[in-house]
Amino acid sequence: MNLHHLLAILIPILASLIESVGVIIIVYGCIKALYMFAKDGFDLNNSNPKLELAKALAFSLEFKLAAEILKTVVIQTIDEFIVLAAIVVLRVVLTFVIHWEIKSSETDGSKDKAKS
């Protein structure tokens, strides 16, 4: 059994496990944000639940991106590479957008506290 064959067997399993961690983080973040939203009386002006959900999504995307990077080891055709590259680009863009949203929400929150 050569190394490439071993990696071809192990990497899809590892990538699936890492992606599962990302899914668990998303589910946890959604439940926590929903709990915070309900606890605050379904106040749409409260940005804390939105911020918690955005943080969970950003963290889960890091795991999803790690899984995609692992998958690059076993790419065999240019078509697989193009699809994988597109997925990576989309996830990186989503990560940047979510981090920007978190940063803008945190600065808006600190401005609101300063006004009070």
- Residuewise pLDDT in 10s, the chain (116 residues): 688 888 889 999 999 999 999 999 999 999 999 999 999 999 888 888 999 999 999 999 999 999 988 988 888 889 988 988 898 899 889 989 998 988 888 787 666 666 65
pLDDT of 26 reads: 96
Q: Is 9 left (phi over 0), alpha (psi -120 to 50) or beta?
A: alpha
Q: pTM for this structure? A: 0.79
Per DSSP, helices labelled H in 40-77 are 48-71
Asked whether 49 and 34 are in contact (CB, 8 A), the reply is: yes
**Segments making up each domain of the chain, as ranges:** 3-115
State the residue for tokens 């399993």.
Answer: 13
pLDDT of 52 reads: 92
pLDDT of 54 reads: 92
- Residue 96's alpha-carbon distances to 35, 40, 77, 109, in angstroms, are 26, 28, 29, 20
Q: Taking the CA of residue 71 as centre, how many other CA atoms within 13 Å lie in the half-sphere pointing to its CB?
A: 21
pLDDT of 46 reads: 85
pLDDT of 71 reads: 87
Residue range 20-51, pLDDT digits in tens: 999 999 999 999 999 999 999 998 888 889 99
pLDDT of 13 reads: 95
Handedness of CA 40, 41, 42, 43 (dihedral sign): negative
